[in-house]
Amino acid sequence: MMTITVKFFASLGEQTGLTETTIEADSASTVMDAWNTATGHQAMPANTLCAVNMTYAQTGDSVHDGDEIAFFPPVTGGGQ
């Protein structure tokens, strides 16, 4: 079976109830498809950051068998 690994970090893991899952590669052709498949079509929070194989990506970028997709909330800075 061809698979894609999907990871959720920080508050996204809490929101989705997942920290890591695998999906069938033929169920997703884009980063957004992977989010929808893995989360059961939960709404993606605004400004969610995405990476494919540890390289920043956009939700419309293509994904392939064996890829690792990561979703994480934007970094918030502390002011001084």
**What is the per-residue pLDDT for 15?**
93
Percent above pLDDT 90 for the chain: 90
User: What does the domain layout of the chain look like in residue ranges?
Assistant: 3-72
pLDDT in tens, 29-48: 999 999 999 999 999 999 99
pLDDT surpasses 80 at 11: yes
The mean predicted confidence, pLDDT, of the chain is: 93
**Residue 77: which pLDDT band, with cuts at 50, 70 and 90?**
low
Measured CA to CA, the distance from residue 30 to residue 34 in angstroms comes to 6
pLDDT band at 75 (very low <50, low <70, confident <90, very high): confident
Please tell me the chain's helix, strand, coil percentages from 3-state DSSP, rounded to the nearest 5: 20, 30, 45
Q: Looking at the domain 3-72, which fold is it?
A: Ubiquitin-like (UB roll) (3.10.20)
